[in-house]
Structure formats: structure tokens, C-alpha cells
Amino acid sequence: MTNMKKLYLALISICLATNVWAIDPISLEKQYVEVSKQPSLATRGEKFFTSKHGKEWSCATCHGMPPTKDGKHASTDKVISPLAPAYNNKRFTDEAKVNKWFKRNCNDVLNRECSALEKADVMAYLNSLK
């Protein structure tokens, strides 16, 4: 094997191991739809985003409504950049961060992880904001 091929294979291995492949919000929504085996609905995502689910907060509590401007964390007052991808092109471009924040925020709102369909619906809603 040539040195160039070895280098190429090493780079691919590093990228796969560190999950540096970029994603985009539309592809992410499609991934959740595929896992849930149901179509996403922006209207259902908006309702989910604005509703409380048995806990003190909704998604909108911190991210604002609509989530097109800076929000503020309800307990820390930390400023949160706009969540809607059309208003913040860095949103939903790092799969590891997306997974981390969905897990944390769903637990804050639902006291459990979000289902794939809930994530698909929220992504459909956020992707619809222009």
C-alpha cells in the first residue's frame, strides 16, 4: 500500500472515530424520520416546543418563541443563541453536540429522552422558520 493510501485511510479512520462529519438540519430531520418510521410535522413540532410536559419548562422557556432570536436559560440566565437554523447557521451541524443537547434538554422538559418522532417534529418546526 502506498504512503498516500495509508494517509487517506488514517484520515478516514480519524474522522469516523471522532464524528467530525458535518451534518445539516434537513438531513438530521430525515434521520429522525427514518428511525421513527413516521413523517415529521412542523405543526406537531411547534406544539411540542411550546408545551409543558409535566415539568416546569417547555423548550420555549429558554429558547424563546419563536426561537429566532437569542434566548436565556431559565435558571442560569446564560444567553442562548437562536435555535432556528435559518437564524443561526451553526445550529445542528455537529451531531455529537446535537445528541448531547437533545438528551439534556429533553430530560429538563420531559424527564426522559425525546423519541425519534419528537425530535423529527421539532426539527421540522425549526427548519420551517425562515
Residue 16: pLDDT above 60?
A: no
pLDDT of residue 3: 74
Q: How confident is the model at residue 54 (pLDDT cuts 50, 70, 90)?
A: confident
Total-model pTM? 0.82
With respect to CATH, is domain 23-128 assigned 1.10.760.10?
yes
Count CB-CB contacts under 10 A for residue 3.
7
Report the phi/psi class of residue 37: left, alpha or beta, with left for phi > 0 and alpha for psi in -120 to 50: left
pLDDT of residue 19: 47
